[in-house]
């Protein structure tokens, strides 16, 4: 079986370095909020070119902490995309605010800025774009709208570590950027982990306090916070992966170019495109397929893993029934949820595997046409 993502292969490549890092933490006697976490924050700041970075427990917490640090909560609205992993909207709901969905762009699958303005009300506090599958959201118009309406921009960059827009890394464009280091993410670790970056000093300070029980001095608490820190072992492992991330992302892009070259002319298939000026890191490679069921079944039979991201847009989820949405409210999101199929994409996909995947797709699509 060729898996969608091969974590084992990825972690085998850094095994010696990783074992040494784990041993270093083991012997240090410091497992939470120690020097590895601090050094990772310094190193990731340099990589992303951002003034403030705070390691947290996971990507979902990064979003929750970002919202909370901006005092977004009960009665507030946050405009976001319905075509994303659930955690984006979950974080908004978790702080007591309401996710207000607007439809996506057909090419990038990201929030469509042309729909944002009409979704703004007096309750709107922020826009939360997601850089889905690693493709940057259309940030220029989003930033303009936010400025005109005095709204915050919180970037959900959980699938896009290292992606950029005109040379600027995603996560550092808006007020706050949130990252996840869940094992399957393009910068992943061997457990949970997350990061908040921001250009605002007071936000960074607030998040540092919030992630640690609302405390700046041990056993003295100034507010109700969270227990959400990046632990030392994950930080030590991430310091290693961070030195490889450009190479890992380039390998993904190389595979994406091969797929594009081989699959873009096939009838009944549309390959993902990167908009000019953006650096897409292909966290996932999702093709659009006329007959998804046939291709999916055929690939599975041929031993090639494939998957649907995401089968049900968030506005149609049971948990958001109270928002009163119906089918066809966001037609592009709904169409993509029926047509997209992820094929294997990870940095260590061999040439032989890539050839086999392409061959199988060609065969299945032609027999269908």
Q: Which of 40, 109, 182, 226 binds ligand PLP (CB under 6 A)?
A: 182
Query: CB under 6 A: which stretch of 43-51, 80-88, 218-226, 342-350 binds ligand PLP?
Result: 80-88
Report in angstroms how near the CB of residue 4 gets to ligand PLP at its nearest.
14
Q: Per DSSP, what are the bridge partners of residue 197?
A: 53, 177
Beta strands per DSSP E along 20-151: 52-56, 77-80, 98-101, 124-128
**Binding of ligand PLP by 306 (CB under 6 A):** no
**Binding of ligand PLP by 88 (CB under 6 A):** yes
Of 83, 94, 31, 30, the closest CA to residue 330 belongs to 83
Q: Which of 36, 76, 103, 156 binds ligand PLP (CB under 6 A)?
A: 156
CB proximity list for 92: less than 8 A, separation 6 or greater: 63, 67, 78, 80, 98, 99, 128
Query: CB under 6 A: which stretch of 99-107, 154-162, 203-211, 299-307 binds ligand PLP?
Result: 154-162
Report in angstroms how near the CB of residue 363 gets to ligand PLP at its nearest.
32
Q: Which of 40, 85, 109, 285 binds ligand PLP (CB under 6 A)?
A: 85
Query: CB under 6 A: which stretch of 3-11, 19-27, 151-159, 333-341 binds ligand PLP?
Result: 151-159
Pairwise CA distance, residues 253 & 259, whole Å? 10
CB 84, CB 104: distance < 8 Å: no
Report in angstroms how near the CB of residue 190 gets to ligand PLP at its nearest.
13
Pairwise CA distance, residues 310 & 298, whole Å? 20
Of 56, 62, 47, the closest CA to residue 244 belongs to 47
Q: Of 194 and 298, which CB lies nearer to ligand PLP in the complex structure?
A: 194
Q: Of 263 and 310, which CB lies nearer to ligand PLP in the complex structure?
A: 310
Collapsing DSSP to helix, strand or coil, 138 comes out as coil
Of 280, 218, 265, the closest CA to residue 362 belongs to 265
**Binding of ligand PLP by 158 (CB under 6 A):** yes
Residues making contact with ligand PLP (CB under 6 A)? 58-60, 84-85, 87-88, 130, 156, 158-159, 180, 182, 192, 194
């Amino acid at each position: 079986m060729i898996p969608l993502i091969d974590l084992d292969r990825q972690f085998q490549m850094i095994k010696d370095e990783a074992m040494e890092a784990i041993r270093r933490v083991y012997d240090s006697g410091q497992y939470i909020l120690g020097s590895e976490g601090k050094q990772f924050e310094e190193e990731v700041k340099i990589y992303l070119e951002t003034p403030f970075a705070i390691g947290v427990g996971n990507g979902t917490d990064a979003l929750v902490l970002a919202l909370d640090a901006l005092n977004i909560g009960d009665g507030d609205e946050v405009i976001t995309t319905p075509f994303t992993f659930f955690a984006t909207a979950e974080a908004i709901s978790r702080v007591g605010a309401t996710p207000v969905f607007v439809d996506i762009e057909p090419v990038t699958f990201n929030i469509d800025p042309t729909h944002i303005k009409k979704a703004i009300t007096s309750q709107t506090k922020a826009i939360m774009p997601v850089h889905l599958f690693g493709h940057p959201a259309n940030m220029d118009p989003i930033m303009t709208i936010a400025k005109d309406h005095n709204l915050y921009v919180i970037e959900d960059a959980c699938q896009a570590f290292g992606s950029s827009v005109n040379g600027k890394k995603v996560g550092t464009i808006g007020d706050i950027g949130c990252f996840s280091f869940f094992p399957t993410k393009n910068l992943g670790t061997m457990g949970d982990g997350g990061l908040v970056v921001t250009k605002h000093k007071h936000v960074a300070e607030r998040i540092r306090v919030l992630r640690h029980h609302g405390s700046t001095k041990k056993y003295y608490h100034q507010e109700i916070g969270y227990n959400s820190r990046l632990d030392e072992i994950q930080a030590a492992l991430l310091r290693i992966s961070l030195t490889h991330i450009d190479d890992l992302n380039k390998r993904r892009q190389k595979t994406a170019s091969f797929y594009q070259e081989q699959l873009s002319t096939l009838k009944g298939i549309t390959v993902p495109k990167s908009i000019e000026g953006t650096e897409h890191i292909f966290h996932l490679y999702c093709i659009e397929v006329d007959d998804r069921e046939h291709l999916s079944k055929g690939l599975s039979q041929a031993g090639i893993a494939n998957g649907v991201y995401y089968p049900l847009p968030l506005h149609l989820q049971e948990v958001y029934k109270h928002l009163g949405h119906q089918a066809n409210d966001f037609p592009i999101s709904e169409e993509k949820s029926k047509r997209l199929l992820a094929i294997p994409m990870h940095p260590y996909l061999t040439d032989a595997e890539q050839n086999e995947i392409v061959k199988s797709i060609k065969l299945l699509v032609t027999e269908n046409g």
